[in-house]
Amino acid sequence: MLNNFIFIVLPYAALALVIFVTPYRFFSNRLTWSAYSTQFLESKTLFWGINPWHYGIIPVLAAHFLGVLAPGPLKVFLGNQTNLVVIESIGLALGLFAVFGCLGLLLRRVNAPILKRVTFASDWVLLYLLLAQALTGVYIATFMRWGSQWYLHTAVPYLWSLASFNPQIEYMTDFPLVFKLHAACAFLIVALLPFTKLVHLLYVPVHFLMDPPILYRWRTK
């Protein structure tokens, strides 16, 4: 029952929300499309929270995606024990870095009175959810060793089975609860993405790199 919920209902619900709500929000009111930076109001502790968080979580997240996109080459690469140990160590270090940052961001919201009016329920939900996600990730990396390898043989085929609308949850059902929690949190975060400031993830400035410095807009041209 719980397995069905976490591994079938949640991912499809999250996917549906991202696919339908994101464009709705984009076309109905882009005035709310912002990362809602609070650096302007409080920047001293932000530095120690926001940088570790982003620089920790982005490579870890990218590694998760890479596993899904190219499991074959990765299996070969991680078949070498040295590679495996190095990757696992880097992953764990980055995970701890992210936890440190996320914790800092959470405590900052608690401690800085100037942020009271710019802290909404969604900010709390996201911070706790992201912290739970990072903590369970670090726990898995520490106590369920060599995840970078077994992830390719379990979660990756499961995710592909989701994509082909033939969910094979038996890849996942025998894992301990903490792993299921990690997966559930991930789907929840994806589900919340279109409703919260997480939409800032959907924009990577690439035009900017190629454009000339000064941008003109002509009404007539």
Partner 1 sequence: MDVRAQLVMVFNLDKCIGCHTCSISCKNIWTDRKGAEYMWWNNVETKPGVGYPKKWENQEKFKGGWLREGGKLKLRAMGKGPTLFNMFFQPNMPKLDDYYEPFDFDYSNLYKAPPGSDQPVAEAFSQVSGERIEKITGGPNWDDDLSGSQVYAVEDSNLEDNTLVADYGRMFMHYLPRICNHCLNPACVASCPSRAIYKRGEDGVVLVDQEVCKGWRFCTSACPYKKVYFNWQSGKAEKCIFCFPRTETGQCNACAHSCVGRIRHVGVLLYDADRVEEALLKPDDQLVAAHRDVIMDPHDPEVREAARKNGVSDQWLEAAEKSPVYALVKEFAVALPLHPEFRTMPMAYYIPSLSPVISSGGDLHELADHGTFPLLEKMRAPISFLASLLSGGNQEIIADILRKQIALRLFKRAGNLGQPIEESILKNAGLDEAGANRLYRLFTIAPYRERNVIPTQQREEQDSNQRKGASGFGILKKTRGTK
Which residues of the shown chain bind partner 1 in the complex (CB under 8 A)? 28-41, 43, 46-47, 50-51, 53-55, 113-118, 120, 197, 200, 203, 205, 207-209, 211, 213-221
- Minimal distance in Å, beta carbon 112 to partner 1? 9
Give 42-92 as a DSSP string.
Answer: --HHHHHHHHHHHHHHHHHHHHHHHHHH-HHHHHHHHHSHHHHHHHHHHHH
Smaller CB separation from partner 1, 111 or 142: 111
Smaller CB separation from partner 1, 15 or 118: 118
Looking from the CA of 168 toward its CB, the CA atoms found within 13 Å total: 11
Contacting residues for 127 by C-beta, under 8 A, at least 6 apart? 102, 105, 106, 109
Smaller CB separation from partner 1, 20 or 47: 47
Would you state the structure tokens that stand for residue 10, as one six-digit string? 């949640």
Task: Confirm if 197 and 36 have CB atoms less than 8 A apart.
Answer: yes
- Minimal distance in Å, beta carbon 57 to partner 1? 11
Residues 144 and 140: their CA atoms lie apart, in Å, by: 5
- Minimal distance in Å, beta carbon 118 to partner 1? 6
Smaller CB separation from partner 1, 58 or 177: 58
- Minimal distance in Å, beta carbon 221 to partner 1? 6
- Minimal distance in Å, beta carbon 42 to partner 1? 8
- Minimal distance in Å, beta carbon 102 to partner 1? 13
Residue 220 sits at φ, ψ, to 5 deg, of -95, -15
Contacting residues for 128 by C-beta, under 8 A, at least 6 apart? 106
Smaller CB separation from partner 1, 102 or 159: 102
Smaller CB separation from partner 1, 5 or 26: 26
